Every structure is written in structure tokens, then in C-alpha cells.
Amino acid sequence: MSYEGPDPDGFDDYYNNAPGNPGRRPRGTRTRPLLITTAACAVAAGAIWVVTQAVGGSGGGDTAKVLPAPSRSATSPTSATSSAGASDEADAKEPNGSPSKAPSTASPSAPASSKTPSKPAGGGTGPLAGKVVVIDPGHNPGNFRHPADINRQVNVGNATKECDTTGTSTNAGYTEAQFTLDVSRRLRTLLQEQGATVKFTQNGDRAWGPCVTERAAIGNQAGADAAISVHADGSGAGNRGFHVILPASVHAGSADTRPIVASSRDLGERVAGKFLQVTGQPPSNYIGGGTGLDTRADLGGLNLSTVPKVFIECGNMRDAQDAARLTSGTWRQKAAQGLSEGIVSFLRG
Ligand code: ZN
């Protein structure tokens, strides 16, 4: 099925549904300078990306560089455009035939949930022996068949929002849910090779979901040393690059991210640096002011986490250049490698 329409998903997960939106969506927090390890990278137009090469010193040369903070000022987090709620850890719902605000004669098709789908594996020897990593492949290939279920409102501490969303796709129909599962599986293999115990929030083995609340809970219950939610964005053509999303400090209702803000930032900066280094994918030219980092207070998967956690948007599926990468198995392996190296760096301190 093709996800049709004028980029109805807007920006993945959060952004509004405005097609061709040059990249601004309201949000409260803004990114700060990023300490990033170096790499050659294409400089996105308009981005203030200043990468320092460890000139002459490839060895040990992970030079850190502080990037200038974007000067975007925060806007109200509410005006997110379009329909109620608009955004979440899943791109806005994609119409494609399936009514998003669906009839609520929900079939009682209970999610095959409650117990976590994937079993830990690994846990062997290696530098990550004893470490637990939870990988959250964003969305679920079956979500669009269960609109009533995924549109159900859940409490994310400071708001209510949809249980989950469908995710976006490339113009040719390669879905974000396929992408996230593929990258996540590759990442799992790499982490297990390092001795880590890896759990998934879903592995394509359930009809839909889980809800964002459960995605967070799985990481919490596993006592994860690190958790990462894998996504790709659905913005307008010309918007390119990756960004890592960090939890803002949220203390509301059942959400309290205060204990994980600093550790998640550390994780996110390392992931961003290694992702850039390994994939050559530039930092976003439409989010984060060229830092490759963004901070958000409206994502249930972060708000409800009690373990260090970040999201990554690996690229924009609606941009031809990014789509060419995202649909390449070779590139997805690099993406997984970059994520793995970032997580390993974090876990090894
Ligand atoms: Zn997504």
C-alpha cells in the first residue's frame, strides 16, 4: 500500500502534518551545543555545522567540538497544527485508505502483548557482558490495519496522545516500520556480538503497537542500561539528515525524566557523533540548528522512561537523497553500526 497524499505524515513523530513545511514545528525546548566526535560530513545548507577533524590524528582523534547552539526560539508546544494531538512517537497517521480517526467498533483483537515479544539473547562474553539494551523499532507494520487501537488515547504524563501511529514511508512505499525493524535487527546483532543482552519492544510479531506507554515500560522493566527508539522522518523534500531526540526534563503525572536527562544526553551525543562518523549522513538541516540534536517534552516514549533513552530519526523518507540511503541495505548496516558504536561508547563510559 502506498502511503498517499501530500505527505500527510508531516514530520515524523512530532512535527506537524504540513507538507513541505520547511521544518518548523513548535516545541518548547531547544537544542544545545553538541559535543560530537568528528567526521567528514556534508554540510547541510544553512546549518551551522562545524565539525572538527582530528587533523592528522585519526588515531585517538575523537576530537570533540562544541557546535553553536541554534538560535531558534521556542514556540508554544501546542500549536502543532492540524488535528488534535497531531504528533507523537509515530508520525502522524497516514491516511492511505485506512481511516485514521477510525470507527471505533474496534475488534477485540487483543494485542499479543503483555509479555514482551523478544527474548533477550546475547549476554555472553564481551565488553558489554551484563549490559542490557532495549531497542524500540518505531511503529509496527500492522498499525495501519488497527486504527481504532492505535488511535486510543494514552497518558504520557503531561498530556494524552495516541497509543501509536502508523509511521511514514518513502514515496515509493517503503515503510518506516519496515525500516525500523530492519535497522533494529542489525543493531541487535552488533550489540549481541559485544556481549549485550538485547530486548525489543516489538519484533513484527504482534498485530499492532505496542502503545508508546508500553514501549517505555518495556525498557524500564528490563532495567535497561540504554534504550533507543529507531525512526525515520517524514518531512518535506529537501529536508535532509538525521537527528537524535533527547528527553526534556518533564515532571508531570506519571512522568519524571529528571533522573535520566543527563545520562540520556550523554547517550544521545555519543549516538549522534558515531552515527555521523559511520554513515556520513549529515545532521538535519531542518531540526536542531545543525547540531543533530533535539530535545522534546511531548514524546511518551521518553517522558515515561526511567532509563537512559533517546530517539533517532535516521533520515527523511520523503527526500529523494535520504530515501536512497534509507532503502539501501548497505546503508542500513552502516546506520546500525553507527548506532551500535554510540551505544557501546556510552555503556563503556
Ligand atoms: Zn517514526
For residue 169, what pLDDT band results from cuts at 50, 70 and 90? Answer: very high
Q: What is the mean pLDDT of residues 301-312?
A: 98
* Residue 200 CA, ligand 1 centroid: distance in Å: 16
pLDDT value at residue 268: 98
Give the range among 98-102, 136-140, 228-232 with minimum mean pLDDT: 98-102
Centroid of chain to Cα 51: 23
* Residue 230 CA, ligand 1 centroid: distance in Å: 7
pLDDT value at residue 37: 37
Q: What is the mean pLDDT of residues 201-216?
A: 98
Topology (CATH) of 84-102+110-348: Aminopeptidase (3.40.630)
* Residue 298 CA, ligand 1 centroid: distance in Å: 14
* Amino acid letter for position 180: T
pLDDT value at residue 123: 59
* Residue 311 CA, ligand 1 centroid: distance in Å: 9
* Residue 13 CA, ligand 1 centroid: distance in Å: 5
Confidence check: pLDDT of 51 > 50 = no
Q: State the catalytic residue, choosing from 176, 214, 269, 313.
A: 313
pLDDT value at residue 89: 52
Distances (CA, A) of 287 to 11, 32, 294: 10, 12, 7
As given in the structure block, the three cell numbers for residue 235 are 518531512
Active site residue 341: no
Q: What is the C-alpha separation between 268 and 255, in angstroms, rounded?
A: 20
Q: Tell me which residues have their CB within 5 A of the ion that is ligand 1.
A: 12-13, 91, 138, 167, 231
Average pLDDT over all residues of the chain: 75
As given in the structure block, the three cell numbers for residue 155 are 497518558
In the chain, domain spans: 1-67, 84-102+110-348
* Residue 61 CA, ligand 1 centroid: distance in Å: 33
65-98 pLDDT, tens digit per residue, is 333 333 333 333 332 222 323 334 534 333 333 3
As given in the structure block, the three cell numbers for residue 91 are 508520525
The pTM for the full model equals 0.71
Q: What is the C-alpha separation between 287 and 274, in angstroms, rounded?
A: 19
235-281 pLDDT, tens digit per residue, is 999 999 999 999 999 999 999 999 999 999 999 999 999 999 999 99
